[in-house]
Amino acid sequence: MKLAETWGLRSRKNKVLALSNIQSILKKPFYYGLICLNGEFFEGSHTPIISKKLFDKVQEVMRNKEKPRKVKSHKFPFL
């Protein structure tokens, strides 16, 4: 991730963040003001870093970029 490296995004072990780490961060609702506790969402007292609208747009972009799963169809002519 060259972009993560130029921005200085690093892990706790001072390694450049991998794409999967960045995707994990982008999926957390904490950044728009929600806290998840035991599967329930609560409004946090912290100031949101991004808007809910931006969060939803990021989620939509990430969903659209997922690789489609290939359905394996086995053809067994002698069954």
As to burial, measured by CB atoms within 10 angstroms (0-12 exposed, 13-18 middle, 19+ buried), residue 58 is middle
Residue 79's pLDDT band (cuts 50, 70, 90): low
Separation CA 53–CA 22 (nearest Å): 19
**pTM, two decimal places:** 0.64
pLDDT, tens digit, 9 for 90 and up, residues 20-57 = 888 888 888 998 999 988 988 899 898 998 999 999 99
Q: What is the mean pLDDT of residues 7-16?
A: 87
Q: Tell me the domain boundaries of the chain.
A: 2-52
Q: What is the mean pLDDT of residues 50-78?
A: 82
Greatest extent of the chain over all pairs of C-alpha atoms, in Å: 65
| Beta bridge mates, 43 | 34
Residue 11's pLDDT band (cuts 50, 70, 90): confident
Separation CA 17–CA 2 (nearest Å): 10
